[in-house]
Amino acid sequence: MVDTGRLPHALLIEGPSGSGKFALARATAQYLHCSARTADGEPCGVCPACLQHQGFNHIDTVFSFPVYKKGGSSALSSDFQRDFCDFVSESPFMDYGQWLERIADANAQPRIYVEEGEQLIRRLGFTAHGARYKVVLFWLPERMMEQTANKLLKLIEEPADDTRLILVSNDPRGILPTIYSRTQRITVSRYTDREIQEYLMRARGVTDGAAAEASRLAEGDMNRALGLLAHTSQPDSIRLDMFIQLMRLAYMRDIVALRTWGNNLAASGREAMTAFFDYAARMLRENYIYALRVPQLNCMTPEEEQFSSRFSRFVNERNIEDLMRVMDEARVDVAANANGKIVCFDVAIKMILLLKR
């Protein structure tokens, strides 16, 4: 599209987390600005534009991404620019959990705020300085506030001839329809197990056996594979402990302990609660498959499988759909700012009823 001059004004690159989408977006912007593109379709890497892109300081490239408000102050991507550049350098596959740890407290829910839209409109009102095109790279447009979307609607629908917008999404269903419908979309698939294994061996020096095991458990997510190898997947081990506590206490019908469990989960913050309900849904699905005795379809760590070997008999065709529905609804409620303690306790009570089916 770049070579033929048909790069759309608003391009959305969508696909699962950990699939290298933002790296593709950055490479596209660099290729668009490169003054000596190679014959095989790569930026040269040595021209001034390429060097500026590699240093995150190309004057006609703007990054827009979710941030959070510190107190009553405004929240602009430019306020977090240095943090973001360091994050992209250290986590090229864009692990959202690492971004959250870097900039926010436990209860923060980073967003792209309306002030961001106003600043972009002002900045894009100037002509490009060092290239033919100005490029805006949006990371996670699904976290754009509705007011922000309304501000940017005309910009996305009818940007200036010298402006290109590249949006990168992990969850396109969360993008407001008014924005989504005005983009041209490219879907990036998850990595295959073999691709992850080869990357870990080539770029990270991991042995064949360790790379094969990490790639099998990662389910196409490069961030998860790297976390497993670096033993930094502590959040998953914490979520497993919380999941085990929930199911054991629900089986015992210990209401008092379940209330404490819910309060502890709520205290971890909304993003952590959302991640837990996603994890719990995955574990319920894995346990249902485990009970069917189709091991080639399972994807669990040894610790998860050890618990599932005893727990899976409680997940069956009579309750699996309702169990999954409870976790999905809880995730939606938390994202909509429902009271975290009430949501968690409601989930706990429903587990008591459903596990007995």
In this predicted model, what pLDDT tens digit does every residue of 57-93 receive, in sequence order? 999 999 999 998 876 667 899 999 999 999 999 999 9
Where are the chain's structural domains?
A: 10-187, 191-232, 233-354
pLDDT for position 191: 95
pLDDT for position 235: 67
- Which two tokens mark 78? 């430019």
C-alpha span between 133 and 124 (Å, rounded): 11
What residues have CB less than 8 Å from 100, skipping those under 6 apart? 108, 110, 271
pLDDT for position 198: 95
User: Residue 221: phi, psi to the nearest 5?
Assistant: -100, 110
| Domain 10-187 grouped into CATH 3.30.200.20 | no
**105-119, 252-266, 336-350: least confident range:** 105-119
pLDDT for position 25: 97
Question: Same topology for domains 10-187 and 233-354, yes or no?
Answer: no
CATH topology of domain 233-354: Zinc Finger, Delta Prime; domain 3 (1.20.272)
Q: What percentage of the chain exceeds 90 in pLDDT?
A: 71
pLDDT digits (tens, 9 = 90+) for 215-266: 988 889 999 898 888 754 456 788 899 999 999 999 999 999 999 999 999 9
The sign of the CA dihedral 58, 64, 68, 71 is: positive
pLDDT digits (tens, 9 = 90+) for 21-39: 999 999 999 999 999 999 9
CA angle 237, 275, 297 (to 5 degrees): 70
* Angstrom distances, CA of residue 176 to CA of 141, 165, 184, 304: 9, 16, 15, 36
Q: What percentage of the chain exceeds 70 in pLDDT?
A: 97
21 close to 193: Cβ distance less than 8 angstroms: no
The sign of the CA dihedral 120, 126, 129, 135 is: positive
What residues have CB less than 8 Å from 246, skipping those under 6 apart? 258, 261, 280, 347, 348, 351
pLDDT digits (tens, 9 = 90+) for 317-329: 999 999 999 999 9
The runs of H, that is alpha helices, within 136-221 are: 146-157, 177-180, 193-204, 208-218
pLDDT for position 105: 67
The mean pLDDT of the chain is: 91
Type of residue numbered 270 = R
Place of tokens 């997947």: 233
pLDDT digits (tens, 9 = 90+) for 139-169: 999 999 999 999 899 888 888 889 999 999 9
pLDDT for position 210: 86
C-alpha span between 37 and 119 (Å, rounded): 32
